Amino acid sequence: MIGSPRRPAGPASRPSTEPTRAAAGQRRRGVALVAAGCAAALLLTACSSDSGSNAAATPAAGGTSGAAPAAATVAGPAGSVAAQSVAGSSAAAPAGAGAATQASATAAGAPATVKISITADGGCAVDPVTVPAGPVTFKIANLDATAVNEVHLMDGDRIRGERENLAPGFDSEFSATLDGGSYQIYCPGAVTENQPFTVTGKAATSTGDVAQQLQQATVEYAGYVDDQAGFLVEAVAKLQKALQGKDLAAAQQAYAAARPFYERIEPVAESFGDLDPDIDARDGDVPAAGWKGFHQIEKALFTDKKIAAATPFIAELVSNVAKLKQLTAQLAADTKAGNGKGYKPDEVANGAASLLEEVQKTKISGEEERYSRIDLVDFAANVEGSQQAFAALEPALKTIDPQRPAPITAAFAALNKQLDKHADTKALGGYQPYDKLTQADIKQLSDALLAVQEPLSQVSAKVASAG
Protein backbone atom coordinates (compact mmCIF):
# COMPACT_ATOMS: atom_id res chain seq x y z
CA MET A 1 0.00 0.00 0.00
CA ILE A 2 1.20 3.51 -0.74
CA GLY A 3 1.46 5.88 2.16
CA SER A 4 -0.30 5.50 5.45
CA PRO A 5 -4.00 6.06 6.08
CA ARG A 6 -5.05 8.95 8.26
CA ARG A 7 -8.65 7.86 8.57
CA PRO A 8 -11.08 5.22 7.45
CA ALA A 9 -12.17 5.31 3.86
CA GLY A 10 -15.36 7.17 3.18
CA PRO A 11 -17.70 7.34 0.21
CA ALA A 12 -16.81 8.89 -3.11
CA SER A 13 -18.45 9.81 -6.44
CA ARG A 14 -18.29 10.11 -10.21
CA PRO A 15 -17.87 12.54 -13.17
CA SER A 16 -20.24 14.12 -15.59
CA THR A 17 -19.94 14.91 -19.25
CA GLU A 18 -21.02 18.53 -19.00
CA PRO A 19 -19.19 20.44 -21.76
CA THR A 20 -19.52 23.91 -20.29
CA ARG A 21 -16.73 23.76 -17.74
CA ALA A 22 -13.03 23.26 -18.21
CA ALA A 23 -10.81 21.36 -15.81
CA ALA A 24 -7.39 22.60 -14.86
CA GLY A 25 -4.78 21.36 -17.23
CA GLN A 26 -6.74 23.05 -20.00
CA ARG A 27 -6.01 26.59 -21.14
CA ARG A 28 -8.12 29.00 -23.11
CA ARG A 29 -6.24 30.64 -25.90
CA GLY A 30 -5.35 34.14 -24.69
CA VAL A 31 -7.39 33.89 -21.54
CA ALA A 32 -6.01 33.63 -18.04
CA LEU A 33 -6.09 30.28 -16.28
CA VAL A 34 -8.09 31.92 -13.55
CA ALA A 35 -10.83 32.43 -16.09
CA ALA A 36 -10.79 28.70 -16.67
CA GLY A 37 -11.14 28.27 -12.94
CA CYS A 38 -14.19 30.48 -12.94
CA ALA A 39 -15.70 28.55 -15.80
CA ALA A 40 -14.93 25.30 -14.07
CA ALA A 41 -16.86 25.94 -10.90
CA LEU A 42 -20.60 25.64 -11.24
CA LEU A 43 -22.85 27.91 -9.23
CA LEU A 44 -20.00 30.27 -8.44
CA THR A 45 -20.79 33.93 -8.72
CA ALA A 46 -17.85 35.33 -6.82
CA CYS A 47 -15.31 34.51 -9.53
CA SER A 48 -13.72 37.62 -10.96
CA SER A 49 -10.45 37.63 -12.85
CA ASP A 50 -8.51 39.73 -15.25
CA SER A 51 -8.26 37.94 -18.59
CA GLY A 52 -4.81 39.28 -19.14
CA SER A 53 -2.98 37.38 -16.44
CA ASN A 54 -2.51 33.79 -15.43
CA ALA A 55 -3.83 32.73 -12.08
CA ALA A 56 -1.05 31.36 -9.97
CA ALA A 57 -1.99 28.24 -8.11
CA THR A 58 -1.20 28.87 -4.50
CA PRO A 59 0.49 25.80 -3.10
CA ALA A 60 -0.99 24.33 -0.05
CA ALA A 61 0.13 21.23 1.58
CA GLY A 62 -1.62 17.97 1.56
CA GLY A 63 -1.48 14.43 2.46
CA THR A 64 -3.16 11.43 1.11
CA SER A 65 -5.00 8.69 2.72
CA GLY A 66 -4.09 5.14 2.07
CA ALA A 67 -6.44 2.24 1.90
CA ALA A 68 -8.71 1.93 4.85
CA PRO A 69 -9.01 -1.32 6.67
CA ALA A 70 -11.10 -3.85 4.87
CA ALA A 71 -14.32 -2.84 6.57
CA ALA A 72 -14.11 0.93 6.79
CA THR A 73 -17.57 2.37 7.18
CA VAL A 74 -17.31 6.10 7.50
CA ALA A 75 -15.20 8.73 5.84
CA GLY A 76 -13.57 11.45 7.82
CA PRO A 77 -11.70 14.56 6.73
CA ALA A 78 -9.38 14.69 3.78
CA GLY A 79 -6.75 11.99 3.52
CA SER A 80 -3.11 12.04 4.38
CA VAL A 81 -0.38 10.42 2.38
CA ALA A 82 2.80 12.37 2.46
CA ALA A 83 2.79 12.64 -1.28
CA GLN A 84 0.45 13.73 -4.01
CA SER A 85 -0.99 12.96 -7.37
CA VAL A 86 0.60 13.10 -10.74
CA ALA A 87 -1.41 14.56 -13.56
CA GLY A 88 -1.87 12.63 -16.68
CA SER A 89 -2.28 15.74 -18.73
CA SER A 90 -0.20 18.82 -19.14
CA ALA A 91 -1.46 22.22 -20.08
CA ALA A 92 -1.24 22.56 -23.81
CA ALA A 93 -0.01 25.52 -25.78
CA PRO A 94 -2.47 27.16 -28.20
CA ALA A 95 -3.31 24.80 -31.01
CA GLY A 96 -4.47 27.27 -33.64
CA ALA A 97 -7.26 26.66 -36.12
CA GLY A 98 -7.35 23.29 -37.82
CA ALA A 99 -5.19 20.22 -37.48
CA ALA A 100 -1.44 20.42 -37.68
CA THR A 101 0.10 19.17 -40.90
CA GLN A 102 3.22 17.46 -39.69
CA ALA A 103 4.63 15.53 -36.78
CA SER A 104 6.35 17.59 -34.15
CA ALA A 105 8.99 15.13 -33.08
CA THR A 106 11.84 16.69 -35.01
CA ALA A 107 14.66 16.41 -32.55
CA ALA A 108 16.23 13.05 -31.90
CA GLY A 109 14.83 11.59 -28.70
CA ALA A 110 12.22 14.35 -28.37
CA PRO A 111 8.63 13.30 -27.66
CA ALA A 112 6.41 13.05 -30.71
CA THR A 113 3.52 15.51 -30.72
CA VAL A 114 0.06 14.70 -32.04
CA LYS A 115 -2.44 17.53 -32.48
CA ILE A 116 -6.14 16.79 -32.21
CA SER A 117 -8.63 19.49 -33.20
CA ILE A 118 -12.29 19.22 -32.19
CA THR A 119 -14.78 21.29 -34.19
CA ALA A 120 -18.49 22.09 -34.07
CA ASP A 121 -19.23 20.17 -37.27
CA GLY A 122 -18.41 16.92 -35.49
CA GLY A 123 -14.80 16.94 -36.50
CA CYS A 124 -12.02 15.31 -34.54
CA ALA A 125 -8.94 15.78 -36.71
CA VAL A 126 -5.80 13.87 -35.74
CA ASP A 127 -2.40 14.84 -37.16
CA PRO A 128 -0.19 12.95 -37.61
CA VAL A 129 -1.81 9.53 -37.47
CA THR A 130 1.52 7.70 -37.32
CA VAL A 131 4.38 8.35 -34.90
CA PRO A 132 7.53 6.50 -33.86
CA ALA A 133 7.49 4.47 -30.66
CA GLY A 134 8.43 6.29 -27.48
CA PRO A 135 7.00 9.24 -25.56
CA VAL A 136 4.07 10.91 -27.31
CA THR A 137 2.25 14.08 -26.27
CA PHE A 138 -1.33 14.52 -27.46
CA LYS A 139 -2.30 18.19 -27.66
CA ILE A 140 -6.03 18.66 -27.91
CA ALA A 141 -7.80 21.86 -28.96
CA ASN A 142 -11.57 22.23 -28.76
CA LEU A 143 -12.00 25.01 -31.27
CA ASP A 144 -15.77 25.48 -31.02
CA ALA A 145 -17.49 22.15 -30.32
CA THR A 146 -20.09 21.49 -27.65
CA ALA A 147 -21.30 18.04 -28.72
CA VAL A 148 -17.78 16.59 -28.74
CA ASN A 149 -15.82 17.27 -25.57
CA GLU A 150 -13.56 14.30 -24.85
CA VAL A 151 -10.74 12.34 -26.47
CA HIS A 152 -9.44 8.89 -25.52
CA LEU A 153 -6.37 6.97 -26.65
CA MET A 154 -7.41 3.32 -26.81
CA ASP A 155 -5.09 0.31 -26.75
CA GLY A 156 -7.59 -2.41 -27.58
CA ASP A 157 -10.28 -2.11 -24.92
CA ARG A 158 -7.99 -0.31 -22.50
CA ILE A 159 -7.69 3.46 -22.16
CA ARG A 160 -4.05 4.62 -22.17
CA GLY A 161 -4.82 8.32 -21.81
CA GLU A 162 -7.77 10.67 -22.02
CA ARG A 163 -9.01 14.21 -21.64
CA GLU A 164 -12.63 14.92 -20.85
CA ASN A 165 -14.87 17.94 -20.31
CA LEU A 166 -13.03 19.99 -22.95
CA ALA A 167 -14.97 23.23 -23.16
CA PRO A 168 -15.05 25.21 -26.44
CA GLY A 169 -11.97 27.39 -26.78
CA PHE A 170 -9.82 25.37 -24.43
CA ASP A 171 -6.69 23.30 -25.00
CA SER A 172 -5.39 20.37 -22.97
CA GLU A 173 -2.92 17.53 -23.34
CA PHE A 174 -1.77 14.20 -22.01
CA SER A 175 1.33 12.11 -22.60
CA ALA A 176 2.08 8.42 -22.86
CA THR A 177 5.03 6.21 -23.73
CA LEU A 178 3.83 3.96 -26.55
CA ASP A 179 5.29 0.82 -28.06
CA GLY A 180 4.76 -0.10 -31.70
CA GLY A 181 1.28 -1.25 -32.62
CA SER A 182 -2.22 -0.22 -33.64
CA TYR A 183 -4.23 2.11 -31.42
CA GLN A 184 -7.46 4.09 -31.76
CA ILE A 185 -8.28 7.74 -31.13
CA TYR A 186 -11.83 7.71 -29.77
CA CYS A 187 -13.86 10.95 -29.86
CA PRO A 188 -17.39 10.19 -28.58
CA GLY A 189 -20.01 12.12 -30.54
CA ALA A 190 -17.76 12.94 -33.51
CA VAL A 191 -18.83 12.13 -37.07
CA THR A 192 -16.01 9.57 -37.07
CA GLU A 193 -15.75 8.43 -33.48
CA ASN A 194 -12.89 5.93 -33.89
CA GLN A 195 -9.78 6.73 -35.91
CA PRO A 196 -6.81 4.41 -36.40
CA PHE A 197 -3.55 5.58 -34.87
CA THR A 198 -0.30 3.75 -35.57
CA VAL A 199 2.95 3.63 -33.63
CA THR A 200 5.96 2.25 -35.47
CA GLY A 201 9.07 0.58 -34.13
CA LYS A 202 9.77 -0.30 -30.52
CA ALA A 203 10.15 2.05 -27.59
CA ALA A 204 13.61 2.11 -26.06
CA THR A 205 13.93 0.37 -22.73
CA SER A 206 14.96 2.79 -20.02
CA THR A 207 17.67 1.81 -17.58
CA GLY A 208 19.16 3.38 -14.49
CA ASP A 209 17.79 4.81 -11.28
CA VAL A 210 14.83 6.68 -12.79
CA ALA A 211 13.64 3.62 -14.70
CA GLN A 212 13.82 1.56 -11.52
CA GLN A 213 11.96 4.23 -9.56
CA LEU A 214 9.22 4.40 -12.18
CA GLN A 215 8.86 0.63 -12.24
CA GLN A 216 8.60 0.61 -8.46
CA ALA A 217 5.95 3.32 -8.70
CA THR A 218 3.80 1.17 -10.96
CA VAL A 219 4.16 -1.82 -8.64
CA GLU A 220 3.16 0.24 -5.61
CA TYR A 221 0.20 1.79 -7.39
CA ALA A 222 -0.94 -1.58 -8.73
CA GLY A 223 -0.95 -2.92 -5.18
CA TYR A 224 -2.92 0.07 -3.94
CA VAL A 225 -5.55 -0.33 -6.65
CA ASP A 226 -5.86 -4.04 -6.01
CA ASP A 227 -6.26 -3.39 -2.27
CA GLN A 228 -9.03 -0.89 -2.91
CA ALA A 229 -10.79 -3.30 -5.26
CA GLY A 230 -10.66 -5.94 -2.54
CA PHE A 231 -12.11 -3.55 0.03
CA LEU A 232 -14.81 -2.63 -2.50
CA VAL A 233 -15.83 -6.27 -2.87
CA GLU A 234 -16.16 -6.58 0.91
CA ALA A 235 -18.09 -3.32 1.24
CA VAL A 236 -20.56 -4.24 -1.51
CA ALA A 237 -21.09 -7.62 0.15
CA LYS A 238 -22.04 -5.74 3.33
CA LEU A 239 -24.40 -3.57 1.31
CA GLN A 240 -26.00 -6.71 -0.09
CA LYS A 241 -26.47 -8.06 3.42
CA ALA A 242 -28.00 -4.76 4.56
CA LEU A 243 -30.48 -4.91 1.69
CA GLN A 244 -31.64 -8.29 2.94
CA GLY A 245 -32.87 -6.64 6.13
CA LYS A 246 -35.44 -3.96 6.91
CA ASP A 247 -33.25 -1.22 8.41
CA LEU A 248 -33.24 1.63 5.87
CA ALA A 249 -30.70 3.70 7.81
CA ALA A 250 -28.31 0.74 7.96
CA ALA A 251 -28.66 0.20 4.22
CA GLN A 252 -27.97 3.89 3.57
CA GLN A 253 -24.89 3.68 5.78
CA ALA A 254 -23.65 0.62 3.90
CA TYR A 255 -24.11 2.42 0.59
CA ALA A 256 -22.07 5.40 1.80
CA ALA A 257 -19.35 3.13 3.18
CA ALA A 258 -18.83 1.38 -0.16
CA ARG A 259 -18.52 4.43 -2.39
CA PRO A 260 -14.97 5.64 -1.65
CA PHE A 261 -13.29 2.37 -2.52
CA TYR A 262 -14.60 2.66 -6.05
CA GLU A 263 -14.01 6.38 -6.42
CA ARG A 264 -10.34 6.15 -5.46
CA ILE A 265 -9.65 3.87 -8.42
CA GLU A 266 -12.31 4.88 -10.94
CA PRO A 267 -9.89 5.63 -13.82
CA VAL A 268 -8.78 1.99 -13.67
CA ALA A 269 -12.38 0.78 -13.87
CA GLU A 270 -13.02 3.18 -16.74
CA SER A 271 -10.19 1.56 -18.67
CA PHE A 272 -12.14 -1.70 -18.82
CA GLY A 273 -14.83 -0.95 -21.39
CA ASP A 274 -18.37 -1.11 -20.02
CA LEU A 275 -17.44 -1.99 -16.46
CA ASP A 276 -17.54 1.60 -15.20
CA PRO A 277 -21.04 2.44 -16.51
CA ASP A 278 -22.32 -0.91 -15.28
CA ILE A 279 -21.06 -0.07 -11.79
CA ASP A 280 -21.34 3.69 -11.56
CA ALA A 281 -23.55 5.25 -14.26
CA ARG A 282 -25.84 8.04 -13.16
CA ASP A 283 -29.40 8.48 -14.37
CA GLY A 284 -29.10 9.91 -17.87
CA ASP A 285 -25.60 8.59 -18.54
CA VAL A 286 -26.99 5.47 -20.23
CA PRO A 287 -30.38 4.48 -21.69
CA ALA A 288 -32.95 4.07 -18.94
CA ALA A 289 -33.37 0.36 -19.63
CA GLY A 290 -29.67 -0.23 -19.05
CA TRP A 291 -29.25 1.87 -15.92
CA LYS A 292 -27.86 -0.21 -13.08
CA GLY A 293 -25.26 -0.16 -10.34
CA PHE A 294 -24.58 2.08 -7.37
CA HIS A 295 -26.75 5.03 -8.32
CA GLN A 296 -29.87 2.95 -8.98
CA ILE A 297 -29.45 1.67 -5.45
CA GLU A 298 -28.78 5.20 -4.18
CA LYS A 299 -32.05 6.45 -5.69
CA ALA A 300 -34.00 3.58 -4.17
CA LEU A 301 -32.56 4.14 -0.70
CA PHE A 302 -32.52 7.93 -0.52
CA THR A 303 -35.35 9.11 -2.78
CA ASP A 304 -37.79 6.21 -2.85
CA LYS A 305 -36.65 5.21 0.65
CA LYS A 306 -37.49 1.60 -0.11
CA ILE A 307 -35.06 -1.25 0.39
CA ALA A 308 -37.19 -3.42 -1.88
CA ALA A 309 -36.58 -1.00 -4.75
CA ALA A 310 -32.83 -1.48 -4.40
CA THR A 311 -32.65 -5.26 -4.15
CA PRO A 312 -33.08 -6.01 -7.89
CA PHE A 313 -29.75 -4.30 -8.62
CA ILE A 314 -27.44 -5.59 -5.92
CA ALA A 315 -26.63 -9.05 -7.34
CA GLU A 316 -25.26 -7.62 -10.58
CA LEU A 317 -23.29 -4.98 -8.68
CA VAL A 318 -21.73 -7.73 -6.57
CA SER A 319 -20.80 -9.58 -9.76
CA ASN A 320 -19.33 -6.51 -11.46
CA VAL A 321 -17.13 -5.46 -8.55
CA ALA A 322 -15.87 -9.06 -8.39
CA LYS A 323 -14.91 -8.76 -12.07
CA LEU A 324 -13.10 -5.52 -11.30
CA LYS A 325 -11.18 -7.23 -8.51
CA GLN A 326 -10.11 -10.03 -10.86
CA LEU A 327 -8.87 -7.50 -13.42
CA THR A 328 -6.95 -5.41 -10.89
CA ALA A 329 -5.35 -8.54 -9.43
CA GLN A 330 -4.16 -9.57 -12.89
CA LEU A 331 -2.84 -6.06 -13.57
CA ALA A 332 -0.97 -6.10 -10.28
CA ALA A 333 0.59 -9.47 -11.12
CA ASP A 334 1.55 -8.32 -14.62
CA THR A 335 3.02 -5.10 -13.30
CA LYS A 336 5.12 -6.91 -10.71
CA ALA A 337 6.30 -9.38 -13.36
CA GLY A 338 7.30 -6.54 -15.67
CA ASN A 339 5.91 -8.41 -18.67
CA GLY A 340 4.63 -5.29 -20.44
CA LYS A 341 0.97 -6.03 -19.70
CA GLY A 342 0.77 -4.09 -16.45
CA TYR A 343 0.60 -0.41 -15.56
CA LYS A 344 2.83 2.07 -17.32
CA PRO A 345 4.21 5.08 -15.38
CA ASP A 346 2.34 7.51 -17.62
CA GLU A 347 -0.91 5.65 -16.87
CA VAL A 348 -0.37 6.25 -13.17
CA ALA A 349 0.23 9.94 -13.87
CA ASN A 350 -2.75 10.24 -16.18
CA GLY A 351 -4.94 8.44 -13.64
CA ALA A 352 -3.99 10.91 -10.94
CA ALA A 353 -5.04 13.78 -13.17
CA SER A 354 -8.26 12.04 -14.21
CA LEU A 355 -9.38 11.69 -10.60
CA LEU A 356 -9.15 15.44 -10.07
CA GLU A 357 -11.06 16.01 -13.29
CA GLU A 358 -13.74 13.75 -11.85
CA VAL A 359 -14.01 16.15 -8.92
CA GLN A 360 -14.21 19.21 -11.15
CA LYS A 361 -16.79 17.66 -13.42
CA THR A 362 -19.37 16.32 -10.97
CA LYS A 363 -18.31 16.50 -7.34
CA ILE A 364 -17.79 20.25 -7.19
CA SER A 365 -21.21 20.76 -8.77
CA GLY A 366 -23.07 18.28 -6.58
CA GLU A 367 -24.17 16.14 -9.52
CA GLU A 368 -22.68 12.81 -8.52
CA GLU A 369 -24.59 11.84 -5.39
CA ARG A 370 -27.77 13.68 -6.29
CA TYR A 371 -29.99 11.54 -4.05
CA SER A 372 -27.81 10.97 -0.99
CA ARG A 373 -25.91 14.32 -1.10
CA ILE A 374 -22.66 12.69 0.02
CA ASP A 375 -20.74 14.45 -2.77
CA LEU A 376 -17.98 15.65 -0.43
CA VAL A 377 -17.27 12.07 0.55
CA ASP A 378 -16.81 11.33 -3.14
CA PHE A 379 -14.73 14.48 -3.56
CA ALA A 380 -12.39 13.37 -0.78
CA ALA A 381 -12.05 9.84 -2.17
CA ASN A 382 -11.09 11.12 -5.63
CA VAL A 383 -8.48 13.38 -4.06
CA GLU A 384 -7.14 10.51 -1.95
CA GLY A 385 -6.77 8.26 -4.98
CA SER A 386 -4.98 11.01 -6.88
CA GLN A 387 -2.61 11.59 -3.99
CA GLN A 388 -1.79 7.89 -3.81
CA ALA A 389 -0.79 7.88 -7.46
CA PHE A 390 1.40 10.90 -6.90
CA ALA A 391 2.90 9.33 -3.79
CA ALA A 392 4.02 6.37 -5.87
CA LEU A 393 5.58 8.57 -8.55
CA GLU A 394 7.11 11.18 -6.28
CA PRO A 395 10.54 9.53 -5.77
CA ALA A 396 11.08 9.30 -9.52
CA LEU A 397 9.70 12.79 -10.06
CA LYS A 398 12.20 14.20 -7.56
CA THR A 399 14.95 12.73 -9.71
CA ILE A 400 13.42 13.83 -13.02
CA ASP A 401 12.42 17.35 -11.95
CA PRO A 402 13.45 18.15 -8.35
CA GLN A 403 11.43 21.38 -8.21
CA ARG A 404 8.16 19.82 -9.35
CA PRO A 405 6.88 17.85 -6.29
CA ALA A 406 6.92 20.54 -3.58
CA PRO A 407 4.26 22.85 -5.09
CA ILE A 408 2.00 19.87 -5.72
CA THR A 409 2.43 18.63 -2.17
CA ALA A 410 1.64 22.08 -0.82
CA ALA A 411 -1.41 22.47 -3.03
CA PHE A 412 -2.79 19.11 -1.92
CA ALA A 413 -2.40 20.15 1.70
CA ALA A 414 -4.40 23.31 1.10
CA LEU A 415 -7.12 21.34 -0.66
CA ASN A 416 -7.33 18.85 2.19
CA LYS A 417 -7.54 21.75 4.63
CA GLN A 418 -10.56 23.07 2.77
CA LEU A 419 -12.18 19.64 2.83
CA ASP A 420 -11.50 19.31 6.55
CA LYS A 421 -13.58 22.44 7.16
CA HIS A 422 -16.63 20.44 6.13
CA ALA A 423 -15.92 17.27 8.10
CA ASP A 424 -18.84 16.24 10.28
CA THR A 425 -18.62 13.04 12.27
CA LYS A 426 -22.40 13.00 12.72
CA ALA A 427 -23.14 13.21 9.00
CA LEU A 428 -23.45 10.25 6.67
CA GLY A 429 -19.97 9.50 5.34
CA GLY A 430 -18.27 11.99 7.65
CA TYR A 431 -18.90 15.21 5.70
CA GLN A 432 -21.59 17.85 5.49
CA PRO A 433 -24.31 17.11 2.93
CA TYR A 434 -23.52 18.94 -0.27
CA ASP A 435 -26.74 20.96 -0.19
CA LYS A 436 -25.59 22.57 3.07
CA LEU A 437 -22.62 24.27 1.38
CA THR A 438 -22.75 27.93 0.47
CA GLN A 439 -21.56 29.34 -2.84
CA ALA A 440 -18.57 30.75 -0.96
CA ASP A 441 -17.76 27.24 0.33
CA ILE A 442 -17.96 25.83 -3.18
CA LYS A 443 -15.73 28.54 -4.58
CA GLN A 444 -13.07 27.92 -1.93
CA LEU A 445 -13.09 24.21 -2.71
CA SER A 446 -12.96 24.86 -6.44
CA ASP A 447 -10.07 27.31 -6.13
CA ALA A 448 -8.11 24.87 -3.98
CA LEU A 449 -8.78 22.09 -6.46
CA LEU A 450 -7.60 24.18 -9.41
CA ALA A 451 -4.42 25.03 -7.51
CA VAL A 452 -3.56 21.32 -7.46
CA GLN A 453 -4.67 20.55 -10.99
CA GLU A 454 -2.45 23.07 -12.73
CA PRO A 455 0.97 21.85 -11.49
CA LEU A 456 -0.24 18.25 -11.47
CA SER A 457 -1.30 18.49 -15.10
CA GLN A 458 2.31 18.97 -16.15
CA VAL A 459 3.66 15.75 -14.69
CA SER A 460 2.67 13.06 -17.19
CA ALA A 461 4.83 14.56 -19.93
CA LYS A 462 7.80 14.49 -17.55
CA VAL A 463 7.14 10.87 -16.64
CA ALA A 464 6.53 9.76 -20.22
CA SER A 465 9.75 11.37 -21.46
CA ALA A 466 11.79 9.84 -18.64
CA GLY A 467 10.23 6.40 -18.78
Map 188-223 to HEC letters. Answer: CCCCCCEEEEEEECCCCCCCCHHHHHHHHHHHHHHH
Out of 155, 171, 200, pick the residue that ends a domain. 200
To the nearest whole percent, how much of the chain has pLDDT over 90?
A: 60
What is the model's pLDDT at position 163? 86
What is the model's pLDDT at position 416? 96
Using alpha carbons, select from 356, 363, 188, 344 the residue that is nearest to residue 280: 363
What is the model's pLDDT at position 311? 98
Out of 166, 200, 234, pick the residue that ends a domain. 200
What is the model's pLDDT at position 273? 76
Contact 12, 264 (CB under 8 A): yes
- Would the pTM of this model clear 0.75, i.e. be above it? no
Distance CA 430, CA 105 (A): 49
Q: Are residues 55 and 168 in the same domain?
A: no
What is the model's pLDDT at position 426? 95
Number of residues assigned to the chain: 467
Using alpha carbons, select from 341, 247, 258 the residue that is nearest to residue 293: 258
**Residue 339's CB: how many other CB atoms inside 10 A?**
9
What is the model's pLDDT at position 121? 93
Q: Are residues 333 and 402 in the same domain?
A: yes
Q: Are residues 425 and 385 in the same domain?
A: yes
CATH number for the domain harbouring residue 347: 1.20.1420.20
SS3 content of the chain, % helix, strand, coil (to 5): 45, 15, 45
Q: Are residues 220 and 154 in the same domain?
A: no
Q: Are residues 195 and 212 in the same domain?
A: no
118: which strand partners?
A: 124, 142
Give the structural domain span for 133: 112-200
What is the model's pLDDT at position 109? 55
- What's the structural domain count of the chain? 2
Determine, yes or no, domain membership for 323: yes
Distance CA 352, CA 87 (A): 5
Q: Are residues 162 and 241 in the same domain?
A: no
Using alpha carbons, select from 340, 318, 343, 315 the residue that is nearest to residue 329: 343
Distance CA 201, CA 179 (A): 7
Contact 378, 402 (CB under 8 A): no
Q: Which residues of the chain have pLDDT under 50?
A: 1-25, 27-108
Out of 137, 165, 200, pick the residue that ends a domain. 200
